[in-house]
Amino acid sequence: MLKPVMLGGAAAVLLVTAAAPPAGADDLAPAGKITVDVATVNGSGCRPGSAAVAVAPDNTAFTVTYSEYLARAGGDSTATEGRKNCQLSLVVNVPQGYTYAVAQVDYRGFGSLQPGAVGTQKASYYFQGMSQTAARSHRFQGALDDNWQVTDTADIHALVFAPCGEKRNFNINTELRAEVGTSDATRTSYMALDSTDGSINSKYHFTWKKCATRT
């Protein structure tokens, strides 16, 4: 099960290092080509065409890039703008003989929260046909006017691997909220998984394991 880790100071190394492999997992990613395709995308935060997926050259991670994922409250915002969500269903194509788990997820964005306003980022993950993880939540308290970054990591014993030899989509459900709280309701606050100078990435780190050889 994934648990949240707030990044700051030395902990920021989590953004650039892959998670250590668990017992039974392999140290190296497979050499063959990995592709990740978006099967479906739904939600007010990721209209079709506004989310893209790329796989790292070393096969240790994939990145989802959003271009218009933003929740806002206060000012002239409507009630529906205060909560945005995105449901991605991804087809992960891996070399024969390997399976994978997602051991770590890095989220980055920008927050502009008035004093007393509140922002929230939530996420849950599951393979098609398997139980969904409990939602992991990160809360941000205004005043805030800066980039934000959080990481969800999986305990070694709780990693869930895709079944060997089966095609099961990997599903990601995320949510952003912005709430006025005790702030001045005439002033706008927002939380975003994008930025004014380009898109912000959410990175998902693979852990690999070889499938048992059939005899």
pLDDT in the model for residue 34: 84
The residues that bridge with 42 in the sheet, in sequence order, are 87
pLDDT at residue 94, rounded to an integer: 87
Question: For 135-160, what is each residue's pLDDT tens digit?
Answer: 789 999 999 999 999 988 877 667 88
> What confidence score (pLDDT) does residue 214 get?
61
Contact 71, 177 (CB under 8 A): yes
Six-digit token string for 137: 């939540």
Size of the chain, expressed as the number of residues it contains: 215
pLDDT reported for residue 21: 40
Quick one: tokens of 101? 């788990």
165 and 80 Cβ atoms separated by less than 8 Å: no
Biggest distance spanned by C-alpha atoms of the chain: 69
Nearest to 147 by CA among 82, 81, 191: 191
Q: Do residues 176 and 119 make contact, with C-beta atoms less than 8 angstroms apart? A: yes
List b or e across 72-108, with b for residues whose CB sees 16 or more CB atoms inside 10 angstroms. Answer: bbbeebeeebbbbbbbbbbbbebeeebbbbbbbbbbb
Q: What is the pTM of this model?
A: 0.79
User: What does residue 13 show for φ and ψ, rounded to 5 degrees?
Assistant: -60, -20
Q: Tokens at residue 55, please? A: 């796989």
The pLDDT assigned to 60 comes to 85
**Would you report the helix, strand and coil content of the chain in percent, each value rounded to 5?**
5, 50, 40
| Residues lower than pLDDT 70 in the chain | 1-27, 134, 156-157, 194-201, 214-215
